[in-house]
């Protein structure tokens, strides 16, 4: 009797374990998930819902507030926990360097061919092995043709004496140094402090033309007539054009300076297969266009361009561009010196 009771007890344990195991498998089958890690408000809900309907994979949207926060959490997870991450170019370089990113299986992303070559081969992914661009931020010159009696074609035109006290600039010291270097035929990431010093001297020559230097709502100076020309961030360009479509946008002949947000798959992503599916999905022209129109960044998908707000499409004849990168401490000190002296001259 005792032996029979013991056998029944063992049988109960085995059955319970089987049931638990079965429930676990059922849960895994029924709750396929893709954890998307990026800033808040980066996707229209319709696109995420469409992916779930098409694949049966539920998107779990997780947010971070800064690129640095993302890298810290990804490092703590040792390249796990998240399936797709979208972040800025400079931080992706660090994530790749820390071996937290896996190479893409492009056979699983046939829509990869839709990416505009202008945004490929960048410093953070020179061989295009790890990332899918998800929009570009491009500061541009915008001007009021009723207040400017010549055609502005590039950064060099900002130095024209006819624009005295008529130019509004954003306040990013590296970008303003960078566009000055581009007028000199140099890189925005120049490391030679002597060359940077020459750029500083040229910046001082721009000072008489500068009406204001500010980051927030710089487009308002253009819209209210306080400035005739403005160098604006992407969101400011689109806002200015929405309020005054007659403004002229300049894609500088010296080349664009831009930043890129890109998607990547962490090294130990729990659902790498779904991650590849998701990247291929958002590279479909219709889906990509929905995303660019929603976030207000420039299209990085050449096949989506005809479907995107024309103000978010770079003309096809624009083929030169450069991203501001980290430089040495000595070079950065020289850039800061230029900026401090330039702002003082503009006051």
Question: For 200-244, what is each residue's pLDDT tens digit?
Answer: 999 999 999 999 999 889 999 999 999 999 999 998 999 999 999
Measured CA to CA, the distance from residue 318 to residue 279 in angstroms comes to 26
Q: What tens digit of pLDDT does each residue of 145-171 get?
A: 999 999 999 999 999 999 999 999 999
Say yes or no to pLDDT of 1 above 90.
no
pLDDT at 29: 43
Decide the pairing of beta strands 248-250 and 140-143: antiparallel
Asked whether 180 and 163 are in contact (CB, 8 A), the reply is no
Edge-first strand order for the sheet with 229-232 is: 210-213, 167-169, 229-232, 140-143, 248-250
Measured at the CA of 29, the angle between CA 28 and CA 30, to 5 degrees, comes to 95
How would residue 279 be classed by pLDDT, with cut points 50, 70 and 90?
Answer: very high
Q: Which two tokens stand for residue 321?
A: 């561009």
Measured CA to CA, the distance from residue 155 to residue 181 in angstroms comes to 10
Annotate 199-214 with DSSP letters as a single string.
HHHHHHHHGGGEEEE-
- Nearest-CA neighbor of 312 among 288, 347, 283? 288
How would residue 106 be classed by pLDDT, with cut points 50, 70 and 90?
Answer: very high
pLDDT at 320: 84
pLDDT at 235: 87
Whole-number average pLDDT of the chain: 91
Residues with Cβ within 8 Å of residue 162, at least 6 apart in sequence: 148, 149, 150
């Amino acid at each position: 009797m005792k032996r029979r009771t013991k056998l029944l007890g063992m049988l109960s344990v085995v059955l319970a374990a089987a049931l638990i195991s079965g429930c676990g498998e059922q849960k895994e089958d029924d709750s396929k998930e893709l954890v998307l890690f990026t800033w808040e408000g980066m996707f229209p809900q319709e696109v995420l819902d469409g992916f779930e309907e098409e694949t049966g994979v539920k998107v779990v949207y997780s947010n971070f507030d800064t690129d640095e926060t993302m890298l810290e959490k990804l490092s703590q997870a040792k390249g796990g926990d998240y399936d797709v991450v979208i972040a800025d170019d400079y931080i992706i370089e660090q994530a790749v360097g820390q071996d937290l990113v896996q190479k893409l299986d492009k056979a699983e992303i046939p829509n990869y061919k839709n990416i505009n070559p202008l945004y490929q081969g960048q410093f953070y992914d020179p061989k295009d092995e790890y990332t899918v661009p998800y929009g570009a931020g491009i500061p541009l010159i915008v001007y009021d043709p009723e207040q400017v009696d010549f055609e502005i074609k590039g950064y060099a035109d900002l130095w024209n004496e006819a624009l005295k006290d008529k130019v509004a600039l954003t306040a990013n010291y590296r970008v303003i140094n960078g566009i000055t270097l581009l007028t000199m035929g140099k890189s925005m990431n120049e490391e030679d402090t002597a060359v940077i010093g020459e750029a500083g001297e040229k910046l001082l020559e721009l000072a008489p033309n500068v009406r204001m230097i500010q980051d927030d709502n710089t487009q308002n100076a253009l819209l209210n007539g306080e400035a005739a020309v403005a160098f604006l961030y992407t969101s400011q360009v689109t806002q200015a054009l929405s309020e005054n479509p007659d403004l002229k946008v300049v894609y500088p002949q010296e080349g664009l300076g831009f930043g890129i947000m890109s998607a990547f798959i962490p090294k130990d992503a729990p659902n790498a297969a779904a991650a590849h599916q998701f990247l291929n999905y958002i590279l479909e022209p219709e889906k990509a266009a929905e995303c660019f129109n929603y976030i207000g960044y420039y299209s990085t998908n050449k096949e989506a361009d005809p479907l995107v707000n024309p103000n978010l499409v770079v003309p096809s004849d624009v083929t030169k561009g450069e991203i501001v990168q980290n430089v040495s401490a000595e070079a950065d000190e020289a850039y800061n010196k230029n900026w401090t002296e330039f702002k003082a001259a503009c006051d």
